[in-house]
Structure 1
Amino acid sequence: MAKVIAINISDKKGIIKTSIKEGIFIEEYGLKGDAHAGKWHRQVSLLAKESIDKMIEMGVTGLVPGKFAENITTEDIVLYRLPVGTKLKIGDTVQEITQIGKECHKGCAIKQQVGKCIMPTEGVFTRVLKGGIIKPGDTIEIMKIKNR
């Protein structure tokens, strides 16, 4: 069963995030207190533990949830294969996938520290349709897959 393994937050963009015990996700805004939150299509970022494990297998050490600046670290769900428009029930929230992958900006702290970033190909971005609290251990349910 797909689940949340970490909630991560930072007060500046482009830096590694710190794990927190629970996150308050605000409708049409994102994670309360996070630098990436706002009225846009990339309110929340998600990355699977399995994607992080790929980097570990390539020899990158010291990787923990939040190291790729993801807000939600997941397990047992292949996020980047879900089409844009897919709705996910995560904890108390409902989120919609709005983008898969992103271009790393020049001077990205993650790429500098880690050497490579997996977010451009396997990171997923959502907007919050229904706010609520998310904690590690919460389940992730695919609600609806929109046809491409």
Structure 2
Amino acid sequence: MRSERPVPAVFAVARDDRHRFTKPLRDEIVLVTGHGIEGDAHAGETVRRRSRFRGTRTEPNLRQVHLIQRELFDELAVEGHEVAPGELGENVTTTGIDLLVLPRGTRLRLGDSAEIELTGLRTPCVQLDRFQPGLMRRLIRRERGGTRLRAGVMAVVVEGGVIRPGDAVVVELPAEPHEALPRV
């Protein structure tokens, strides 16, 4: 019997106009080319958060869109943490795709016209433990060969558009050789 692979799709979308840990779910979000998500506190061409400044406010914002795969929530539930879409601050929750194994420069087409490019892995921070004690440890896996971060991926908007739950996700890998996603 053949097992059908799930079709990659958008499971949920979220945005917040303030810098809060959890983002409220929305019926849709609007991606703006080179800027991020319309109305989201992390949108902008340059770095938005003080913790990310490395000298100037002109550094490119590589964290315009935060994505997490819904399957992570199932894994966390087995480990004792109930987490729902938007609660870890992600803008887009996907299903049917392992975001963490995709190489840097992968492009994702979301819905009819939006396109983003993956820039790196989200680095887990202490706010995770403030949300649920012990959660940060669950999102950092010590494995043979190194540490695996599971807090999602970050991207920049290449082509704007509207994204809604249920929209298809199409993956386009960059030319080889592939480079692993760095921490951003």
* Structure 1 stretches of at least 4 aligned residues deviating more than 4 Å after TM superposition: none
Of residues 100, 103, 111, the one that matches 2:129 is: 111
SS state at 1:41 partner: coil
Give the root-mean-square deviation of aligned CA atoms.
1.6
Partner of 1:12: helix, strand, or coil? coil
**2:10 is paired with a residue of what secondary structure?**
strand
**Does the alignment pair 1:7 with 2:13?**
yes
Counterpart amino acid of 1:70? E
Contact 2:103/2:173 (8 A) holds in 1? no
Output the CA distance in 1 between the equivalents of 2:13 and 2:81. 22
What are the equivalent positions in structure 2 for 1:12-91 lying under 5 Å apart?
Answer: 12-39=18-45, 40-61=61-82, 63-91=83-111
Displacement of 1:102: 1.3
Identity fraction in percent: 31
Q: Partner residue of 2:157?
A: 128
Say which SS state the counterpart of residue 149 (structure 2) adopts: helix
TM-score w.r.t. length of structure 1:
0.90
Q: Report deviation, 1:143.
A: 1.9
Counterpart selection for 2:117 from 85, 96, 99: 96
- Structure 1 gaps of 5+ residues are none
Q: Which has the higher contact order (CA 8 A, sep 6+)?
A: 1
| Separation of aligned partners in 1, 2:175 and 2:79 | 34
The superposition leaves residues 102-135 of structure 1 with CA deviations (integer Å, 9 ceiling, x where unpaired) of: 141x4x2x43122214388121000000000000
Kindly indicate whether residue 172 of structure 2 is the aligned counterpart of residue 143 of structure 1: yes
Shift of residue 14 of structure 1? 4.3
Larger radius of gyration: 2
More strand by share: 1
C-alpha separation in 2, matches of 1:38 and 1:54: 32
TM-score (norm 2): 0.73
Name stretches of at least 5 consecutive residues in structure 2 with no aligned partner. Answer: 1-6, 46-60, 141-147, 179-184
Q: How many residues align?
A: 144
